Structure 1
Amino acid sequence: MYTEMFKSFSEQTEKTLAPYVKFNKVFTKNVEELTELQLAAVRAYSDLGLSQLKAVSEVKDVQSFAAFNSQQLETLTKLSQQLIDDSNKFASIAQSFKTEVDELVAENVKQVNPA
């Protein structure tokens, strides 16, 4: 008697908590992807900044200063492209998360309101 009652309670609890578990998995995946993106961005921007510091430390005369200045446009272009790429990746992750949550909500609405 108690075995059936606990089994029934357990099944109902699993059924009730299933949407939360699915959402938590989607959310965790999203946070993981965002964290990886941020770590990669920090690495890229740090590398760029360090390379600029090294380059400016090599300036010793007018010729090296001119060479450094000519590289600045290339560096700014690289930085701009990195920012655009990071923004696109962020938008992609956000869109993926939205799509997965929308699918999860639609699935749960169908279970609650069968057609």
Structure 2
Amino acid sequence: MYTEMFKSFSEQTEKSLAPYVKFNKVFTKNVEELTELQLAAVRAYSELGLSQLKAVSEVKDVQSFAAYNSQQLETLTKLSQQLIDDSNKFTAIAQSFKSEVEELVAENVKQVTPA
């Protein structure tokens, strides 16, 4: 008697908590992707900054200064492209999260709404 009652209670609890578990998995995946994106961005921007520091430390005369200045446009282009790529990746992650959450909500509304 008690076994059936506990089994029924366990099944009902599992069924009612299933949407929360699914949402937590989607949320965790989203946070993981965002963290990876941010770490990659920090790494890329740090490398760019360090390369600029190394390049400016190589300036010893007018010719090396002119060479350094001519590289700045290339560096700014690279930085701009990196920013665009990062924002596109961020947008893709946000869109993916939004669509997955919308899917979960639609699925749960379908389950709750009587036919």
Query: What TM bracket, shorter-length normalisation?
Result: over 0.9
Q: Distance in 2 between matches of 1:5 and 1:27?
A: 33
Structure 1 stretches of at least 4 aligned residues deviating more than 3 Å after TM superposition: none
Q: Counterparts of 2:114 and 2:51 in 1: how far apart (Å)?
A: 60
Query: Tell me, which stretches of 5 or more residues in structure 2 are unaligned?
Result: none
2-side partners of 1:32 and 1:2: how far apart?
42
Percent identity at matched positions?
93
CA distance in 1, matches of 2:97, 2:28: 10
Counterpart secondary structure, 1:60: coil
Q: Deviation per CA, 1:16-53: give whole Å up to 9, x if none.
A: 00000000000000000000000000000000000000
The Cα of 1:95 is off from its aligned counterpart by 0.1
For 2:92 and 2:100, the matched residues in 1 are separated by 12
- What are the equivalent positions in structure 2 for 1:20-99 lying under 5 Å apart? 20-99=20-99
CA–CA distance in 2 between the matches of 1:24 and 1:100? 12
Q: CA RMSD in A?
A: 0.4
> Structure 2-normalised TM-score?
0.99
How many Å separate the matches in 2 of 1:76 and 1:114?
A: 58
* Deviation of the 1:114 alpha carbon: 3.3
Aligned length: 115
